[in-house]
Amino acid sequence: MSTADNRTPVIVGVGQLRANRDRDPQAARSPLDLFVDAIGRAAADSGAPSIVTQADTIGTTDVASWGYDNLPAIVGGEIGARPTQFISGPMGGNQPGQILDDVAAAISAGTSSVAIVGGAEAVASLRAVLGTGQVPDWTPGALTRVDVSEIASDVMMRYHLGLPTRCYPLYENAFRAQRGLNFAAAQEESAQLFADFTTVAARQAAAWDPHIRTAGEIGTVTPANRMICQPYPVRMNAQIGVDQAAAVVVTNVAVAREAGIDESKWIYVRSAAGAAEPVDLLSRSDFHSSVALESALRAALDRAGVSASEVGVLDIYSCFPVVVKFAAKVLSHPLDARLTSTGGLSAFGGPGNNYSTHGLVAVTERLRKERGLGLVYANGGMLTKHHAVVLDSQRPAEPFSGGAAPANPQEHPPIIEPDQGAGVVETYTVEFDRDGTPTRGWVIGRTDDGERFPALITDQVTLAELVRTDVEPIGRRGEIGSIDASSAGDGAADATGTLTTLTLTP
């Protein structure tokens, strides 16, 4: 066997867990503890537990629930390894794919021989402990605060578009209108998709909500399933309040054989590709597609030399239905349960940036039984950062190929913030209070000259028009104006200046 063949990257161990489902403050465990537990499970899964002590590379996803200084180094000490290469991803659900890509490249190049990829979140336990008036004693590290400015531009922050719950509906609504679907048809599609996903989550021991739900339960707005931002009620949103951890052990063929790991455990990392949209939503070409999502998926498949139809095992990132819909369209795949191997971020759980490590675990476990090709697609930010990885139960003939997908530049309209004139709704969403009252909305609009502008909506007449389901808001004309930034909410009482708004009339 050649040196290159010996360096073929292969997943040999996977592990994942769910903890403290009852949200008991006394049962709270730190993300570090959960991750070390997951690594132990992955080590045991390999059949050669000591392999993790040989790890020279440790890559960890960003932890939202607790702040660590160099988590990969801390983890190395906890598992008895002496890593020399540390990878810690910035905020973004794309990170499991990105880190695995980097690790596979290093193993192929001979600069790494054993690597650990993964992470953990303990949001459920953190909230439970904070609810008692205490702060967890999760030494090392400290309580931290998520800075959404990492994934949102200045203009998005000023218009309070720094939360995924407010941004992804802009895409869902635009995609619905672009396809000519009415509101009810699009909602039925989303509800059935996530209902299908629950049938998969119900089979997963690590799933946070392992209950099969009907499309009616997913799509019907009730006090327990209130509307967050139209068109997504709670059960169409990622469930971030979870305690979950996952780990993947990656090595090369030579080390795996020397360690005596059964070849039936080996799943090869065949290819990967990453791509990104502009951080600023306004600077994207449109809202009914994602150029970077398509680029990452197509490049990963092309590098593996396979077509989408040849891939039998998938896990597509599913923080909101529109992401799955975009990926399914690129892959020419039906909207059904086969698009997930975990059950998705709503049912299985959405442990922050680490979800797709669970996807890698689930796809690996299925490929060991079903054999064939697998695909994991990970998404970060506001449909911003994308990474796809192709896995194979058979040794590929070609060496691993990864890295950034070929550049695919996109153009966007001129961006302005007008305070007068006329505008047309390009896309929109409306946020609801807990009692079901529309509280404010967001419009991305176009002027008569084709310029794009953001608009924050606070007047009740326009909100009522936007939430109508019998009339399509996209394409409607309105009057551009301005509102005081201090009226925007989100604790923005100290905000100064004005923001663009758009008024629609019945």
How big is the chain by its Cα radius of gyration, in Å?
A: 23
Give the rounded percent of residues in the chain with a pLDDT score beyond 90.
93
**What's the pLDDT band for 1 if we cut at 50, 70, 90?**
low
425 falls in which pLDDT band (50, 70, 90)?
very high
Round to whole Å and give the CA distance between 301 and 382.
23
Residue 287 has a pLDDT of: 98
Question: What's the mean per-residue pLDDT of the chain?
Answer: 96
At residue 380, the pLDDT reads: 97
Measured CA to CA, the distance from residue 321 to residue 171 in angstroms comes to 10
Whether 493 shows a pLDDT value over 50: the answer reads: no
Q: pLDDT for 86-122, tens place per residue?
A: 999 789 999 999 999 999 999 999 999 999 999 999 9
Q: Quick one: pLDDT at residue 487?
A: 75
Beta bridge mates, 445:
425, 453
pLDDT for residue 34 = 98
Closest CA to 382 of 329, 315, 442, 432: 442
- Given a cut of 70, whether residue 2 has pLDDT beyond it is no
CA 386 to CA 396: how far, in whole Å? 24
- What are the helix (H) ranges across 91-240? 95-109, 123-130, 154-158, 164-179, 183-201, 215-219
Q: What confidence score (pLDDT) does residue 147 get? A: 82
The whole-number pLDDT of residue 410 equals: 83
Whether the predicted pLDDT of 495 surpasses 90? no
Which is nearest to 280 in space by CA: 377, 381, 352, 353? 381
Evaluate if residue 491 carries a pLDDT over 60. no
pLDDT tens by residue, 191-214: 999 999 999 999 999 999 999 999
Alpha carbon separation from 315 to 182, 197, 297, 370 (Å, rounded): 28, 11, 12, 15
Give the integer Cα–Cα distance in Å for 88 and 35: 14
Structural domains present in the chain: 3-137+240-392 (3.40.47.10), 422-503 (2.40.50.840)
Residue range 304-341, pLDDT digits in tens: 999 999 999 999 999 999 999 999 999 999 999 999 99
Predicted confidence (pLDDT) at residue 499 exceeds the cutoff of 90: yes
